[in-house]
Amino acid sequence: MAFLPETSLTSALHIEPLDQRDLSVARRIHAVLRLAHAQEAALLQVKHERGPAQTPEAIQASMEIYLGAFLDGELVGSVSLRPDDEPEQIN
């Protein structure tokens, strides 16, 4: 089992809601998605990485709720939630 160092990232990392309706925020979310897709492709040893399916404009128009993970003021991760087709469920 791996343990985080005493000065762990979790102490500096904070989560906050994102307003993807702001195109500059949507572009930052898209940039994080691009990096995540590239990292995943490298880990899976995929030669032709497709990148994220959503454009910044699609993210901006989305009705999803976005949360961002910030480290030293920089967006380093994001997650989105949306209602599921089934009652009382989220995706």
Q: Are 68 and 29 in contact (CB under 8 A)?
A: yes
Rounded Cα gap, residues 91 and 58, in angstroms:
17
Q: Which of 16, 31, 23 is nearest to 65 (CA)?
A: 16
Question: Above 90 in pLDDT, residue 3?
Answer: no
Region of 26 (left: φ > 0; alpha: ψ -120 to 50; beta: rest) is alpha
Rounded Cα gap, residues 53 and 44, in angstroms:
18
Predicted pLDDT at 8: 58
Prediction pTM value: 0.77
The string of pLDDT tens digits covering residues 25-73 is 999 999 999 998 888 888 888 877 677 778 999 999 999 999 999 998 9
Question: Above 90 in pLDDT, residue 6?
Answer: no
